[in-house]
Amino acid sequence: MALSSVVNAGWQDPLETPAMETLRAHEELLLDVTNAGDRLVSAGAHGHIVFSDDGGLSWRQGEVPVSVTLTSVDFYGERNGWAVGHDGVILGSEDGGKTWTKQFDGYQANKAILEAARSNLAVMEERAELAAEGSDEEADEAMMALETAQFTLQDAEYDFETGSTKPFLDVEFWSEKEGIAIGAYGMAFTTEDGGKSWQDMASRLPNPDRLHLNSITRTGEQTMVITGEMGLLLRSEDAGQSWTPQPSPYDGSLFGLVDKDKLQLLFALRGHVYQSWDEGITWEELNTGVEQTLLGGFETEKGAVLVGNGGAVILLDRNFRNPRSVILEGRKASAAVTRATQGHFVIVGEAGVKLLDPQGHLMQAEISMAQGDL
Amino acid sequence: MSDKKFSSVPEHYILSPESEPFLERLIFNNRGIVIAVLMMLTALFGFGLTKVTLDASIEKYIPLNHEYIRNYLVHKDEMKSGVANVKIAVETTSGDIFTKDYMDTLSKISDEIFFIKGVDRSGMQSLWTPNVRWTEVTEEGFQGGPVIPSTYDGSRDSLEQVRQNVLKSGQVGRLVANNFESAIIDVPLVENDPETGEKLSYAAFSKELEEKVRSQFQNDQYRIYITGTPKKLGDLLEGAKSIGLFFLAAMVMTAILLFLYSRCPRGTIVPIVASLIAVVWQLGSLALMGFTVDLYSVLVPFLVFAIGISHGVQIINGIAIEAGKGANPLQAARHAFRGLYVPGMLALLSDAIGFLTLLFIDIGVIQELAIAASVGVAMIIVTNLVLLPIIMSYIGISQSGVNHARKAEENASGIWRALSSFANRKVAPVPIVLAIVMAVFGYFYSQGLKIGDLDKGAPELRADSRYNLDNAYMVGNYSTSSDVMVVMVETPPEQCNAYKVMDAMDRFMWYMENVPGVQSTTSLVTVSKLVTKSMNEGNLNWSALSRNQTILNTSIQRAPDALLNSDCSMAPVIIYLNDHKAETLETVVAAVEKFKETYDDHVDQKFYTYRFAEIEEAISSGELESVPVRFQLASGNAGIEAATNQVIADAQGTMLIFVYVVVFVLCFITFRSLTAVACILIPLALTSILSQALMTYLDIGVKVATLPVIALGVGIGVDYGIYIYNRLEVMIVAGKSMQEAFFETLRSTGKAVSFTGVTLAIGVATWIISPIKFQADMGILLTFMFLWNMLGALILLPALASFLLRPERMIERHKRRHGDVPPAG
């Protein structure tokens, strides 16, 4: 055979491969849904980002330059949006979700993490030298921190070399410029220029075991909460500059938080739901009767709705009390929920888009996708 | 035969004035020896009958040389697990499956199946087998156990426990019906007995299933449904047995007709015996040559018998007429032989060669059908053109037969008189115009003709067969499709789970899911995503492929064997389709080909044999960019059918052209006249067009079963034309007017031809009630073609002749050649 031995370049890295055009994204895995004014925007598998202007009945596909699985999407206002996902990808849109550009990816993340780990190690080495002259206790502590920094660097080097990347799991913006993206193994990046540049902020988080960070929620002007693996609960009072660990009511994974004024609701593995009346200082478990892991939540002035595995949906009243559970037909897992301007809930997950009326009944509406501009 | 046949003015043998052809002298002067030799041959082939075996191997039904099939055969043994298994659903008619009685019954059935020969016991899956488990993610990690726990005691609590476990097991839609009214026992089979190495008999297995499961457990409370390729083959073989009965029925009906026709017991029994001898010769000789009988070639004896009878009738008819003229048995037989052996041989030869054009279709069963049918027809030349007149020369036709022949020739002229008017130029335009209208209509109507199988379920069996009803139940109540296309993703060894390969597979699956006609896809990627998600606490955000090879490896550690081969150089992508209509298959195959264009790595074949380290080295040295991968079509029933459809679509035109070329050449050599050929072939062409329109109307696609029908229909159909034209020409040369000549033709040959058409039609019409769908389809089409060809020869042929033939020139030509010697026959 007289074939050139170099492989035909048909396959390219999913970070370089635009999402395929499809009319079935609304039936495929979608992992997050959010509001951009009256518009709904949802993101999921194969680099799909779809949007709807009629409350989720008909959808169109945004142009996305990558085909990796996207886990989260957030908008500030009607036009500016960001989507994050696997392979450390961060995308930005300035036209309400129609077109997206890549702002950041796992390779850049690996590089940034490696640099951060190196400078952190340098700091720790210095500190250890200083501490060696201090008390035994101080010295031990510094040596421990140094060891951790060494391990962190080793991991960062390994990831950098093998190209193994980590997924972002949530993104939150509180202005056109400022936002935070968090993800697996304690990965966290922040931007102050709308995503043009992203800086590693993992070292600012009190998360020495590099636990997965599952969600980030703003609960006030300057306050925000991160939930994560093994009951991790972090709180910032200064718009993400500094973070402090919070006492956690649970030692399993916390998947998210919804809040209304001072009321907060934490949802977690195996149907665990905790409620706080004092902005998360004390927690009380709520018996929902549901044993399915809850992955997404949304609050309204009239109450809250939580969704999760096995088609589980929990509706709560305005005091986040009296949980009522519904099982969606087909028992497919849901990942996120929001409310459309029209008043009904829009749930996304394994089976794509589902619409739920305010009473919790599945709406028998025809959901479809159309090509191009309507 | 005389030297004159090589003279400068060619003339065909039929009008040969030789009073005693060489062949006739050879045969009739040595009658004793000929009979002895033929009896010995019969004994030999009769012995061959004991070697006849029914063969159900799937390979013969598929185009082995098609690229897709070759790709499939490379991996055939590795993918066996998916092919040879049977699913048995047990349905309760009241309530759901979570009752003590149901669970007990399911357990008993499970146990019963466990001991059936051929069952791969370790691979069996049902709610009662320990390999069906539920799992759950808890704070402590994974938890799980068998769906029916060891503590199960049939109490309400433990039944509730089973219900919960079923929900957690992910088996709803797979082992448990979506409506919880039935559960499946999934039974993989061991195709070769591990001790004896003997091949599992599907027929025996299927029979045992019926006896031990269906008859024993099906009652008002519970219903049993069984599907799977082995069961289907078992049912087909069972169905093939009824062929024997059909043969008997066809024989009895033919005998009755034959007696009514000849009114002579000897004239009835002798052609039947001669035709049966032809069948014995055909079956026996093929068995001795090592051929087996399959679901197609099992039909050949019908054809051989029917063709044999139809030629036998011509001879008997001729003998009766000669005897009526006062000839003794020997003279009558010799005259009948002399008049008929050439058109008879020509007709049979055109049958045989017509059948041989089927060899162009590269599918085992069709080629063997071609060989079997050709051999059978060749046998008829000996048994019915030689043996039959010899026997008749000894025993002679009975007086009742002679009287009947004479009477018939005198009496039944009313209808022949009426028919003969078609040879009159005043009437002839009617059938001609009608034929043109029908041809035009048929042509346009048959534009809707489809390639492939069009029915749901197993197309080999009838839509209302037990198997297809069971299959419809499975499809309706479980999340499965019975139409599956498998694309084999090939890589070097140990690389089927490389990130690049898995990602390419992931893209391929999503690409295919966007193709119309595709329901869903499954592969190693599905498992990997599912396990990765499960390892991350069931969080949907993690259902993606990891770039970390260690995580990727872990995620497929427990993947089912069916999703990758043993050295991880091939991973199938299973594509579930809505149906197996040809358009669906074409769309899907085209989509796969398009994907291949972009994603197949065109690298030297050697890289596909490289070991893991060698590939790594080739990549780091720049010889390769990444792990090579290619997407190979195709396996699964839909994949095989797609290949078959392509072969059929390609062969269809070629075969039609060849079969017509063959009959054209044979007719032309015989009659040496283009107008003669036109008179014979135009009615045939009309039948071909109309049969395609009929197929369109009946929703019968062009497929393995119906393609041979075209060759058979034309090959056999030409006989009528040959006999009629031959006689007509003789009469014209004798100086009769066109209409008178045709009337004489009808009185003698026409009667035999119409009888022949009916006999042949009876032979194949019995297939119509066959439980095997494609045999029924062939039966319908052949019956139509045989009858229609007969009508064509009796109506359209004379009408065409009245315009095309030039009697003066024909007479003149004959005179030039033979002087005043009258034509034979």
Reading the block at residue B571, the tokens are 């991973």
Provide mean pLDDT across the span B88-112. 92
Q: Please check whether residue A359 touches B, CB under 8 A.
A: no
Predicted pLDDT at B731: 87
Reading the block at residue A370, the tokens are 């159309």
The residue of chain B with its CA nearest to that of A12 is B500
Reading the block at residue A84, the tokens are 């994050």
Q: Please check whether residue B599 touches A, CB under 8 A.
A: yes
Residues 6 or more apart whose Cβ sits within 8 Å of residue B380? B275, B278, B304, B307, B308, B311, B348
Tell me which chain A residues have a C-beta less than 8 angstroms from the C-beta of B511.
20
More confident residue, B699 or A216: A216
Residue type, position A205, single letter: L
The residue of chain B with its CA nearest to that of A167 is B542
Judging by DSSP bridges, how do beta strands A368-369 and A58-61 pair with one another?
parallel
Question: For chain B, what is the mean pLDDT?
Answer: 86
B26 closest CA partner among B315, B389, B397: B389
Q: Please check whether residue A18 touches B, CB under 8 A.
A: no
Contact A7 B167 (CB under 8 A): no
Reading the block at residue B612, the tokens are 């893991």
**Which strand ranges, in their side-by-side order, compose the sheet holding B484-490?**
B518-522, B570-577, B484-490, B630-635
Cβ atoms of B642 and B485 within 8 Å: the answer is yes
Cβ atoms of B184 and B88 within 8 Å: the answer is yes
Tell me which chain A residues have a C-beta less than 8 angstroms from the C-beta of B626.
7, 11
Tell me the C-alpha to C-alpha distance, in Å, between residue B172 and each of A88, A229, B168, B186, B415. Answer: 35, 31, 9, 14, 69
Cβ atoms of B54 and B237 within 8 Å: the answer is yes
Contact A7 B503 (CB under 8 A): no
Torsion-angle region of A171 (φ positive above 0: left; ψ -120 to 50: alpha; else: beta): beta
Provide mean pLDDT across the span B440-444. 95
Contact A7 B513 (CB under 8 A): no
d(CA B477, CA B87): 13
Tell me which chain B residues have a C-beta less than 8 angstroms from the C-beta of A87.
547
pLDDT of B412 strictly over 70: no
pLDDT of B6 strictly over 50: no
Predicted pLDDT at B19: 52
Q: Please check whether residue B504 touches A, CB under 8 A.
A: yes
3-state secondary structure of A308: strand
Burial B375-404 (b: 16+ CB within 10 A, else e): bbbbbbbbbbbbbbbbbbbeebbbeebbeb
Q: Which residue has the tokens 């690996």?
A: A110
3-state secondary structure of B667: helix
Q: Please check whether residue A251 touches B, CB under 8 A.
A: yes
pLDDT tens across B429-438, in order? 999 999 999 9
Contact B541 A22 (CB under 8 A): no
Most confident residue range from B117-121, B384-388, B805-809: B384-388
The residue of chain B with its CA nearest to that of A211 is B536
**Which strand ranges, in their side-by-side order, compose the sheet holding A352-356?**
A334-339, A345-349, A352-356
DSSP A231: G
CA torsion sign for B585, B588, B591, B597 is negative
Predicted pLDDT at B492: 93
Q: Which residue has the tokens 């998600």?
A: B533
Contact A309 B629 (CB under 8 A): no
Contact A335 B541 (CB under 8 A): yes
3-state secondary structure of B760: helix
Task: For chains A and B, count residue pairs whose Cβ atoms are closer than 8 Å.
Answer: 120
Predicted pLDDT at B56: 66
Contact B500 A350 (CB under 8 A): no
d(CA B596, CA B254): 57
d(CA B202, CA B229): 9
Tell me the C-alpha to C-alpha distance, in Å, between residue B674 and each of B317, B379, B678, B719, B805. Answer: 29, 30, 6, 17, 10
pLDDT tens across B29-52, in order? 899 999 999 999 999 999 999 888
Contact A11 B600 (CB under 8 A): no
3-state secondary structure of B314: helix
The residue of chain B with its CA nearest to that of A293 is B538
pLDDT of B116 strictly over 70: yes
Q: Please check whether residue B594 touches A, CB under 8 A.
A: no
Residues 6 or more apart whose Cβ sits within 8 Å of residue A320? A260, A263, A265, A275, A286, A303, A304
B309 closest CA partner among B261, B241, B371, B245: B261
Q: Please check whether residue A248 touches B, CB under 8 A.
A: no
d(CA B293, CA B419): 43
Contacts made by residues A282-290, CB under 8 angstroms, sequence distance 24+? A283/A248, A283/A249, A284/A249, A285/A249, A286/A320, A286/A321, A286/A323, A287/A323, A288/A314, A288/A323, A288/A325, A289/A323, A289/A325, A290/A314, A290/A323, A290/A325
Burial B343-366 (b: 16+ CB within 10 A, else e): bbbbbbbbbbbbbbbbbbbbbbbb
pLDDT band at B498; cut points 50, 70, 90: very high
Reading the block at residue B266, the tokens are 């000897």
pLDDT band at B13; cut points 50, 70, 90: very low
d(CA B448, CA B710): 17
Q: Please check whether residue B238 touches A, CB under 8 A.
A: no
Cβ atoms of B823 and B814 within 8 Å: the answer is yes
**Lowest mean pLDDT segment, chosen from B173-187, B344-358, B793-807:** B344-358
Tell me the C-alpha to C-alpha distance, in Å, between residue B625 and each of A116, B607, B685. Answer: 31, 12, 58
d(CA B373, CA B165): 59
Burial B205-235 (b: 16+ CB within 10 A, else e): bbebbbeebbeebeeeebbbbbbbbbbbbbb
Q: Percent of chain B scored above 70 by pLDDT?
A: 94
Predicted pLDDT at B821: 58
Residues 6 or more apart whose Cβ sits within 8 Å of residue B331? B322
d(CA B574, CA B688): 39
Q: Percent of chain B scored above 90 by pLDDT?
A: 31
Residues 6 or more apart whose Cβ sits within 8 Å of residue B317? B262, B336, B405, B748, B751, B752
Low-confidence residues of chain A, pLDDT below 70? 1-9, 372-374
B715 closest CA partner among B440, B270, B376: B376
Q: What is the ipTM of this complex?
A: 0.93
> What is the SS3 assignment for B53-110?
CECCCHHHHCCCCCHHHHHHHHHHHHHHHHHCEEEEEEEECCCCCCCHHHHHHHHHHH
d(CA B747, CA B415): 9
Residue type, position B726, single letter: N
pLDDT of B468 strictly over 60: yes
How wide is the angle at C-alpha B599 spanned by C-alphas B594 and B601, nearest 5°?
A: 125
Tell me which chain B residues have a C-beta less than 8 angstroms from the C-beta of A163.
547
Cβ atoms of B200 and B193 within 8 Å: the answer is yes
Cβ atoms of A188 and A180 within 8 Å: the answer is yes
Contact A167 B541 (CB under 8 A): yes
The residue of chain B with its CA nearest to that of A212 is B536
Tell me the C-alpha to C-alpha distance, in Å, between residue A116 and each of A182, B234, B310. Answer: 16, 68, 95
Closest to A309 (Cβ–Cβ): which among B500, B538, B599?
Answer: B538
Do you find a cis peptide bond into B799, omega within 30 degrees of 0? no
The residue of chain A with its CA nearest to that of B551 is A164
**Lowest mean pLDDT segment, chosen from A64-68, B651-655, B676-680, B690-694:** B651-655
For chain B, the residue count is 825
Closest to A86 (Cβ–Cβ): which among B500, B544, B626?
Answer: B544
pLDDT tens across B164-214, in order? 888 877 788 888 998 899 999 988 888 777 777 777 788 888 888 999 999
Predicted pLDDT at A372: 60
Reading the block at residue A315, the tokens are 């509706």
**Which strand ranges, in their side-by-side order, compose the sheet holding A273-276?**
A254-260, A263-268, A273-276, A284-286
Closest to A10 (Cβ–Cβ): which among B138, B600, B618?
Answer: B600
